[in-house]
Structure formats: structure tokens, C-alpha cells
Structure 1
């Protein structure tokens, strides 16, 4: 059974239902790989082997009775920003390292009800505030298995590392500024950020939310498999909506018509050029889309990341971290915060209510510029990141005050889609001569998630990317 992880998640589900493999054997296979490989990769914060094997035993009983849920028996990891009943949820912070929730978050509950076997919690930065995954809970940052000296991005870095290294078949992630898409790009994976409201943030409540949960997977079909389970908004969700059909079905068909697609590769950041390999990722994708009959038109970037917008992003990060720290961290434990988190929390604490509203207004105008410019297009196409995966320590080379802008320089292609609420997906493009992965981002119309998945599946079927794996895969 040394090759079980070679099967896609969809193939594993079919093998479980056919009785070709048991959930117990599948779970033990992944637990053994985690035990053997994760010390060098930093994918997990917590591994619950005992609980996972209990979940697997229950799944095997349901499979034997012919009563499986859609994920019955499939091993899964949950990002450690989301509550898991009975399993510690650290939020990537030493300040809350021993917190054990009494209840699951809404989406975790859906995944459990679907029969998933929860192996543990995947690595995330402190309160999810950075596009790199490094904290004081784990001894190693989450790294891309393609080069363990480089981050697998964040804040869903652990999830992407786990899937790319064959420690999980598919993983749960979340994305507030690119946190599913940029890790997917650094690990040669598919990462889906759904439209606002498709996946409920419950029990969190807010009038404005840039973040949402979504899947990280090896294939479009695997991402759709997980998204079908997650896409059931909680009752009372302000933005909740339900799709008219299944996403797994959407991933088996091509778009029903040629799509009009806008392409740009500029970063929009003064003085920051997109790396040639990142440009190539978008251009390769555009060329194939044209061959498939779509109308791809190169346009100037609709809105730049001017200094006021960058300042607004950093202020918004500060406000968000300040709110999390106020809600979760007792005053006597604030000394355990990492330096950048402390910097953000203090900056957020200093904001007045008027300044928070002004920050939201700047970001709303920035987002509105994209919506207006893209009104005539079905899809936007960009690189996912402005450069290859970065080396460990890169973001702190010029002190905590520079971290926010250095992150935006690298991840500048993704945050706008969070603010507009549009669905976005990062698909693999290629692995460069240094062995580093690069991805392309596709952004669709709001609530047209199924069309976007169909387009990504069409690219996959047309062999936009090869089936690469890192050296630890075998």
C-alpha cells in the first residue's frame, strides 16, 4: 500500500466505496507519511492519530452498511484557524497554544458530517496575518516540498505543503488576501477561493468579510469534491447563497460558451516588476485558452496598488489582528505574541473608529475599480504571485515595519478578488529550471463559481500543467 497517496482524492473515495481499500488502511498510510516526513516540512501543528483511527473505524462501518457520506473515510486536515471540537486550535499562536474548543466551526461540522477522517490541524501563521507560515507553536515553518529552504506561502501554507508532499489527499484552507491561492502556486496545486457567501464563516459574523474557506487539491475534480460539501451556508448568513448545481459535475464539463477573458501581468506596485517566470505562467495559460476558443485580451491593470491603498491594507491587517488579540489573548499573555503580530496589534489598537471606516472606504474604492473595469469580461487572468516562492526569512530582512509592504509586493495579484467577493482559482502552470512551481490565477464573475471550475478543468484536460511531484513524494 505504499502507493495509496498516488491516487487522487476522487479516486480514493471511489476505492473506499468499492471496498478496494479501507479507511483504516488509508488513514494509517497517511499517518505514517506524516510521521516520516513532516519534521522537515512543517505541514502540521497537531496530529491526532488516535482520533483519526476512531474516525476511520466509524467510516468503515458506514461503508460496510452502504451508508457513506460524500467524503466517507477520506483523510483530511483542517487549517488551525478553525475550531475543531476536542482537538486543540492554536490560531498559530503561542498565546493560545492549549486552547481546545468545545464545538466545531460550521464548515468543520459539514466536513465531519460528510464522513471525513480528521488527521489533525495544518500549520498557519499567527492569527493568519501573513503570506508566509511561521509561528512559535511549531519548530519549523511550512515550506514548499519543492525547496525546503523556501516558504509554501500562507496563511494556508501547512495545508498546501501537506497535499503537495502526499501527507493528505486534499486539504481545507482559507483565503482573506490570497491565502489559498498563493500556497497552491508555490506547491504546484489547485487552490479555490469561492465567491463571498458560498461557504459560511459561521460562527463569525460581520457586515464585510474579505475571507472565506475553500479547498486545496491536486486536481480540479478533487477541489470540487470538497467544495460541494463546504458550500452549504449556515442559516442566517448575511451573504449566504446556494449554487443551482454541483461543483463536481461542473468539473466534468467545459464552459458552455467561449469566454471573454482579460489578461494583465503588471503588479500595480510602483517599482515592482513581475518575475519573468510568473509572467510566463499567465502567458502560457492565455495561449492555451486562445487555442481552446476563448477570447483573451490583454489590458492594463485596472487599479494600481498606490501608496494609500498599501497603507490601507496594512492598517486593515492591523485592525484584524488587534480584534483577534482582544478577543482571544489575555493581557498577561500578550508578551508571547510574535514581533510582527505585536506590531500589528499595537497599530490596530491605535486606530480610531473613523480611521477604520476611512480604511474600508479606500479598499472599497480599490475593489470597485476592478469591478467596473472588468464588467464586460467573464474572467480575469493574472499570475498568482509576482515571483517564485521566497526564501525563509525574506520578509523580516528590513524589520517588522517593512513586512506588510514586502508581503504585498509578492502577493499583489490576489487581494483584490477578496475585496470584490469574486471566485478565484490558482492553477499550476509549470516548474521552472530551478525546480520551483508557478501558478496562474483565474477570477470569475460573482456567484459563477461553477463556470470558473469548468474553465480550470478544461485547462487541466488540455494539459496546461504536468503531473509534477517533489522528491519526497516517492
Structure 2
């Protein structure tokens, strides 16, 4: 069998189309990889029992000369917050331990229609709760393939770990405060939070508007920028079930990876002025940005006019709290009262639900006004620049039981005090985390933020950074 594990999704799809590989070989190699290493990483919580059968059907389609989709035969992992028809979807909660949806989420159906084969569901905190550790009461804690004592980040930690450890070439994540970008930085993968509405949610009922508080995105996680762009080409596009889905764009995102960057004006703020950085992280990110100076029109150090950390973060905290009220009400309508079954739910989820019941309409409106200040600061800066670069995290991955509470003697919030991701969930700007190098053997991410609607610019710049600091092939051979 040709060497398969570690190949990009783009290379796998090309090999299948050419007949150099079969979908059966590709899927079975990744299932074998899961068997070999996932007991150390805990990236997957459910394996699709039909994956081999779907691969066999895909192989027969190639042999019959049928028309092939752009991801024909390529395995993809789906975060366990998203519905997959016939495959258990638990949301990391014992309340949904046996839940098997009858219908795919929109983007899952699009991936299948493009020929991708869902290989399994990936680990997430319960209900994707606010956490930079992918831990729940139903499954084992996800662990970083670079060092299994370390966190994967969250809440798409299982997806990032699956890609980093070679168990899946592509994975999907969702992001309400950094949940695609944080684990991508921690595990050394590329993660893209496309412009809000680019990938439709659609099946969120009874509340089709929930994903605006704060902006919650669906996006690709992959080994390379090109792979993520290929996946986005399939996932993106309007759907009337999502009131915020954006119109289709001309051209392909994969084509944008090769767009020129010579005319781009880039703003660089390593810490966004909101949290301290570990010196080695700052130095690693500085190094990539210094290299970028020779390929773009300008790179200027800037100080974004963001409010201080407390004032900027408060609207996020309030809006996330409001989401828990929505979760509570929705599940109660389905006959499940979280507070009546609190012994089956993590203490954090119970606490957040209880606090959400105390929120007033005035609290939410004040949060939206504070959010507007953050929004205006980011849009004003990007009125003068094409991109804003920063670190993704201010620290490398930490021990799963020891989130940082201070950096260089400065106290920080134990969840968001070391992340630079969440401001863009208040604004809706497309944002990616690109591998920038390592510190003490652990990955570091560079965050690339673009103007609203300009996913292609984010992809082009991310690809330019990837060329300056090549990462494909630097993935851990085996978890340790």
C-alpha cells in the first residue's frame, strides 16, 4: 500500500482521481491509525461503523468511471456538536449519550455530496462549553499529540488532535470564542474561522438566530492552507435555513491560496494590547512576521484601540451566558430539564445555566453596546490595513490540569486571559491560526484576521506565511 498517513487531503484526493490510491486504502489506513494512537490522544469519541462500507462504494465508483466530487474518498472528522445522520452525536453530555440524529447538518451533507467519508466524531467539552481543555464527563480528556500531558485546546480539541496525529486529513470545528483557532495553535494545525455566515448553520431550531450571540462560526481544520481552502469550497454557500448565510462568491477558495500578496498592507500587534505574551511565543511569531515583510507592501506595528481586557471581554461573557439560557430552554422544550438532572451534567454547565437565568434584557443590551466598541475598533483599524496579525495564544499548550493564572507575574483569567481569539467573535471578521513554529517542542500559532467578507485575503496571507515557515511534514510521528 502506498504511504498514506501524513499526506495532505489535496494529495489524497488527487491520488484517488488518478487511480494511484483507492478510497478503501485511504480510509482503512486512517482507521488503522486511529486504532494505533487514539488510546493515547482521545481525539475520537465515536467511529463511524459504516466508514469502510462507504469507502468500498467510493472505490467502486472510481472503478466504474463515475463523476467524482472534489473530496471523493477523503476521510473527514466531524466535531461531536454537529449532527450526523445515523452516527451518534452526544455534544459531550451524558444527557445525549445515545442520541443518533436522523438528519445531517447542512455542511455535513455538503461534505458527503462532495465524496468525503465521515470517519467519526471528535471530542468536545460538554455542549462546547467555555473551555481551553477538551474534557467532559462522558469520554476521556483529549490530549495533545505533541505531548499527551498537554491540552489540545478547546472546544474543537478533538478535531485538531485528530489532524495533528494523522488520524484524519480534514476535520471540522466550530468557534464561539476561539474554538477553531485555539486548538489549531495548540496542536500545530491550520484552522480557519471564515467570515460569519460563509458556512451556514441552518438546522438550529427553534432559535435560528442563536449563532449571532456571539458570532459562532463553522470552519475547516487541516494540515495545510490549501486543504482548508478545498474543504471550505465544499462547506461554503448560502442556505435559506440560515438567516445570516452569505451569497456565493465567484471563484474558488483553493484558488485564493495562490493569490499575490505583494500589495497587502499588514498591521501587526503581537498581543492586541489585551494580554501578556510569553517571550518565546512573541519571538516565534515575530520571526514569521519579519519574514513576511519582504513579501507584502508594508508591515506596521500597531496598537489597536481596543478597550482594556475587562471591558472588551465583558460583552463576550454576557452573550455566552445568554446562550446557556437558550440551551436550557431548548432542551426543556424537548423534555430534558438540565437543572432537574444536574447530577448528569458538569458543575460548570449547571453553574452557567443558573447564572443565565439571572440575566436581564438590560444586561444583554449593555453587552451589545460594549460589543459595538470592540467592533468599531477592529473595523477602523482594518480600514487602513488589509490584515491584522497577532499571536493566537500567549502561551504554548499547558498541562491539562494547569491552565495559566499568570504570565510573567501578571495575573490572567484562567480561560481567556491568554487567548487572543475572542475579540473577533464579537466582530465577525474572518480569522485563521497558522502554524508559526515551536517553543520547547510545542506548536505556536500566528493569527491572521481580515476585513469582513475577505476570506480569500486571509487564505492568501496564510498561505504566504506557510511558505515562509513550512509546516507540512513537521507533525508528530507518534503521540508521546
Q: TM-score, with normalisation over the residues of structure 2?
A: 0.92
Instruction: State whether residues 181 and 191 of structure 1, in contact with CA within 8 Å, keep that contact through their aligned partners in structure 2.
Output: yes
Q: CA deviation at 1:151?
A: 0.7
SS across alignment from 1:5: coil
Q: CA deviation at 1:368?
A: 2.0
Instruction: State whether residues 253 and 458 of structure 1, in contact with CA within 8 Å, keep that contact through their aligned partners in structure 2.
Output: no
Alignment of 1:166-315 (within 5 A): 166-204=166-204, 205-206=208-209, 208=212, 210-235=215-240, 237-239=242-244, 240-255=246-261, 257-266=262-271, 268-269=273-274, 272-315=275-318
Alignment of 1:58-207 (within 5 A): 58-64=57-63, 65-129=65-129, 130-139=131-140, 141-204=141-204, 205-206=208-209
Q: Provide the rounded CA distance (Å) in 2 between the counterparts of 1:9 and 1:354.
A: 48
Q: Provide the rounded CA distance (Å) in 2 between the counterparts of 1:393 and 1:30.
A: 30
Report the more deviating stretch, 296-305 or 223-232. Answer: 296-305
Instruction: State whether residues 319 and 344 of structure 1, in contact with CA within 8 Å, keep that contact through their aligned partners in structure 2.
Output: no
Closer, same or farther: CA 326–97 of 1 in aligned 2, 3 Å = farther
Q: Deviation per CA, 1:67-110: give whole Å up to 9, x if none.
A: 11111111111011100111111111122111111111111111
Q: Provide the rounded CA distance (Å) in 2 between the counterparts of 1:261 and 1:60.
A: 45
Out of 325, 349, 358, which is 1:341 matched to? 349
SS across alignment from 2:148: strand
2:447 is matched with: 441
Q: Provide the rounded CA distance (Å) in 2 between the counterparts of 1:396 and 1:343.
A: 22
Closer, same or farther: CA 408–396 of 1 in aligned 2, 3 Å = closer
Q: Provide the rounded CA distance (Å) in 2 between the counterparts of 1:421 and 1:164.
A: 27
Closer, same or farther: CA 215–98 of 1 in aligned 2, 3 Å = same
2:467 is matched with: 461
Q: CA deviation at 1:223?
A: 0.6
Alignment of 1:28-39 (within 5 A): 28-39=28-39
Q: Deviation per CA, 1:100-132: give whole Å up to 9, x if none.
A: 111111111111111111111011111112222
1:421 is matched with: 428
SS across alignment from 2:26: helix
Q: Provide the rounded CA distance (Å) in 1 between the counterparts of 2:479 and 2:396.
A: 21
Q: CA deviation at 1:428?
A: 0.6
Task: Answer yes or no: is 1:324 the counterpart of 2:332.
Answer: no
Structure 2: runs of 5+ lacking an equivalent: 407-411
Q: Provide the rounded CA distance (Å) in 2 between the counterparts of 1:336 and 1:315.
A: 25
Q: Provide the rounded CA distance (Å) in 1 between the counterparts of 2:132 and 2:98.
A: 24
Q: Deviation per CA, 1:256-281: give whole Å up to 9, x if none.
A: x4211111123544xx4211122123
Q: Which has the higher helix share?
A: 1
Closer, same or farther: CA 439–136 of 1 in aligned 2, 3 Å = same
Q: Provide the rounded CA distance (Å) in 2 between the counterparts of 1:2 and 1:341.
A: 46
Q: Provide the rounded CA distance (Å) in 2 between the counterparts of 1:19 and 1:266.
A: 48
Task: Figure out how many residues of one structure are paired with residues of the other and give that number.
Answer: 463
Q: Provide the rounded CA distance (Å) in 1 between the counterparts of 2:255 and 2:77.
A: 24
Q: CA deviation at 1:135?
A: 0.5
Q: CA deviation at 1:376?
A: 0.7
Q: CA deviation at 1:351?
A: 0.8
SS across alignment from 2:415: helix
Instruction: State whether residues 273 and 303 of structure 2, in contact with CA within 8 Å, keep that contact through their aligned partners in structure 1.
Output: no
2:385 is matched with: 377
SS across alignment from 1:68: coil
Closer, same or farther: CA 4–202 of 1 in aligned 2, 3 Å = same
Closer, same or farther: CA 116–464 of 1 in aligned 2, 3 Å = closer
Q: TM-score, with normalisation over the residues of structure 1?
A: 0.93
Report the more deviating stretch, 457-466 or 108-117. Answer: 457-466
